[in-house]
Amino acid sequence: MTTASYYRNGHQVMMTLRSSSYLSSLYLLSLNKHAEYYRQQIGKLISYGYCMNQDAICIVLKVACSNDFEHIISNDPQLISGALEIDVIIPFRSL
């Protein structure tokens, strides 16, 4: 698993990616939005779903590689070009 934590617009965002040879990079997704917003805004979205637990909402996005997304720089050499499966972990209280 690869995890990134960063701040955007004063709010902390955490992202976790499953290990996969098809991962190419981490992508920024804005905070304080729900899954339907992501579905509408991400034009190259293939499918999405989400699950809830006591700590977080996990939005699973399957997207094609695209420069339309804002990149988080990753030092993981195993992240290569290809399709993505991204687990976006957002603190539940932030939504």
| In the chain, where the domains are located | 2-94
How far, in whole angstroms, is CA 89 from its chain's centroid? 7
pLDDT for 23-56, tens place per residue? 333 333 333 344 445 445 443 333 333 333 333 3
Q: How far is CA 44 from CA 2, 41, 53, 61, in A?
A: 23, 9, 27, 10
Residue 66: which of 50, 48, 89, 42 has the closest Cα? 42
52 token code pair: 């809830």
Whole-number pLDDT of residue 44: 38
Higher pLDDT, 14 or 23: 14
- Give backbone dihedrals phi and psi of 93, rounded to 5 degrees, phi first: -65, -15
Q: How far apart are CA 31 and CA 34, in angstroms?
A: 9
